[in-house]
Chain A
Amino acid sequence: MNLRRDVFQAIADPTRRAILLLVATQAMTAGAIASNFDTARPTVSKHLQILTECELLKHEQNGREISYIANAKKMKEVADFIEPFRQMWDDRFNKLEAIMKNYKK
């Protein structure tokens, strides 16, 4: 539960969401990621650290360089957050529909 909350805080930040988009399909080094932002490099490093801690990013060691790539499995889990909410509304609306159908008669 705590981990999940962290994941949600992680993607609440626009810079972190932009980072996830950048590395969604390709691995990039911290330097290459940082060059896409006006933000100071240490700030970007901090974002990378947070994303890595909640397992939204994986890092790969290539010789001396570390590159980052989005963790597809975890991203899927985040997308699923919406499902219980959708289910709740669907249940309510199904009930509404059933009640009103009887009302017609």
Chain B
Amino acid sequence: MELKTKIDAEDGKQELIITREFDLPLELLFKAYVEPEIVAQWMGTKVLKLESKKHGSYQFETSDANGNVVFRANGVIPEFIPEQKITRTFEMENTPFAVQLEFLEFEKLTESTSKLTMQIVYKSVALRDQMLKLPFAQGLNMAHNRLQDAVKNLNYNNDKAK
């Protein structure tokens, strides 16, 4: 079976490219990135702010089952072209990870299918490799059981350290 989501992380480069084809018209794919309440659903995070426009900004916050905030991220949107392109920064608050730059391109394939190409540029090659290794560092994948457990363990260990 062909994998729906592809990651292209060329060796020695400080970027990676994520591509995915959706069984959705372009209009709906784009909407899923623009409407705060929809973003909240599929990203599994609380959307504190999302101004989908040029020079807009956003802020996400994720809490654990007990309501403790485990993750907060924010960014600005230097470029916003409806149903074509979103360029945004992404920064995880209270982590040592540097801001990353994300170029999202939305393409119509057919009337009912579309494609997303997401290029993420990191501060360094080492940082990119580190991020690849720590997918749960982004903490947004609470729906995924295995990774959710990993985050829970992190919290548990943090609590113990207090």
Contacts and interface: CB of A to CB of B under 8 A. Distances in A.
Nearest to A11: B129
Interface string A64-101: 00000000000000000110111111111111110111
Contact of A103 (B18, B31, B129, B143): B31
Contacts of B28: 100, 103-104
Q: Is the interface of A mostly helix, strand, loop or mixed?
A: helix
Interface in B102-135: 116, 125-126, 129-133, 135
B22 A8 contact: no
B31 A84 contact: no
A3 interface: no
A100 B28 CA distance: 6
Given A97-B24, A100-B28, A101-B23, A92 B43 contact: yes
Nearest to B128: A12
A9 B135 CA distance: 17
B105 to A, nearest CB: 15
A17 B24 CA distance: 40
Interface residues of B, number: 38
Given A17-B12, A90-B4, A100-B31, A12 B126 contact: yes
B35 to A, nearest CB: 9
Given A85-B132, A88-B144, A100-B32, 19 more contacts: A5-B133, A8-B129, A8-B133, A81-B132, A82-B7, A85-B135, A90-B4, A90-B5, A91-B144, A92-B43, A92-B140, A95-B41, A97-B22, A97-B24, A99-B38, A100-B24, A103-B31, A103-B38, A104-B28
26 contacts: A11-B129, A12-B126, A14-B12, A81-B133, A82-B7, A85-B7, A86-B7, A87-B135, A89-B20, A90-B3, A90-B4, A91-B144, A92-B43, A93-B5, A93-B20, A93-B22, A96-B29, A99-B32, A99-B38, A99-B41, A99-B42, A100-B22, A100-B24, A100-B31, A101-B23, A104-B28
Interface of B: 3-7, 9, 11-12, 18, 20, 22-24, 28-29, 31-32, 38, 41-44, 116, 125-126, 129-133, 135-136, 138, 140-141, 143-144, 147
